[in-house]
Structure 1
Amino acid sequence: MTEVTPIDGKNGRKAAASSATNKDASLDGLTDLYYYVGNGTVIKSGHQTSDSPDFGTFRDSLLPGDYYVYVSAAPQPIPEHPVGAFPEIFYKGTTLVVTAETPDTISLVLARRVGLLELNITDAQPSDSIRVTCSYEYASFDEYRIMPMGYRTTPMPITARSTTQFSEFILTVSYLTITIEYLDRVSHTFKSKNLSAKVENNNKTTITGKLYPDAPDSPQSQFNIKVDRTWGDSPTNINF
């Protein structure tokens, strides 16, 4: 079964708390903020970490004109080309017209740029040998344009969080192929099962099912898919 529900950031990956005293409460758990301003090329940029007293506020001055502002945030530095999965990324891009009437403070509310993929193999045992990967995940993330780039040339591992649960943040907003490789308990040979599920921003996609037959002669159980398209309610507010 696949179920999509809002995600709240509490997925077994505890991020460092921010030490900034004047930050917005929605920044709790985030450690890195990236700020870019451009008009075709990058004009200004900034990177804040959670030990900054101004964490969550970028102060800048711009000449009158039209600009595009990009801000992204995460509970760890955002890798350009990660070996494993991306962290939980929040982002916002907006146009900005600077005039004499432009307000001194502009607030941006960042939205999640990732979904959470969770696979529950309900009959898995500690002695089982199970490996889960996904194909068609993005290979890199451009912090200036806050957009993903390219696809990975090899399947990305999905981390085992327990004996029965595998999960990872996913940047791709599209259908993934999830491959489960496992050692059959009867034949003691490796087998594989491919599943297809869509992962969407700010939603959790849950796949639940069994791998092993209940008896030697019974067929293997199937994985069922269900989608709940309710959006989460965890905005991140950035002032600059």
Structure 2
Amino acid sequence: MDLGIAGRSAIVCASSRGLGRACAQKLAEAGCTVVINGRDRERLTATAVAIAESTRAAVIPVVGDVATPEGQAALLEACPAPDILVNNNAGPPFRDFRSLGRDDILAGVVANMVAAIELTQKVIDGMRARRFGRIVNITSGSVKMPLPGLDLSSGARAGLTAFMAGVARSVAADGVTINGLLPGVFATDRLAAMLATTAQTRGVDIEAVAAERLAAVPARRLGDPDEFGAACAFLCSVHAGYITGQNILIDGGAFPGAL
């Protein structure tokens, strides 16, 4: 399917690896010029080269932390008028909520809620003026089904979800859509780290913890980042102009609800 976005420009935050990288890859395959982002210069450069070589798209790496004004400014300097914005950032580490201090909580909220709001503020009027814009917020399945130990991540991302619900409706008539993608258990470095932490805390093998997680997924497998990236690219396409204000679970059926 031709997504109809060849020649569009996209910013994909936190995209040197994992789900962000998968989204950048699919947007590049669709013909977009893609600005990718990360804090590790070496990894980010390698990712940019790999995506560019496999897609022949223009891929611009921007080193920086999207939760900081400096990081956001660098992204917008590289792409002042993006047609597509994919908000993404690493979540706070797995830990008991009792151990969270005020600074920890504020940092988590800034990283997983405030940064996405600030970037949206900076790009949305330009999208409205051009009568086309796609904003996708990568949050988490834990927004709908919170997990102990990920309380800060769940809370910050749920706040972002509620905030964007009203914003999405306010710009829908201008050709701008805002949606959320809620990943479940995907084969990423973050999942591997969470499994390792849980195994160490419980004093069991990591294989046992992984088996427990998969047992809760009706699909009985980990998600492939490639399929997540494809879903993101579709939401950014011309075909998804009537989808807005939605939060789409991609979790292999793990959430036990009909709505």
TM superposition score normalised by structure 2: 0.26
- Greater relative contact order (Cα 8 A, min sep 6): structure 1 or 2? 1
Q: Which has the higher strand share?
A: 1
TM superposition score normalised by structure 1: 0.28
Q: Which has the higher helix share?
A: 2
Higher CA-based Rg: 1
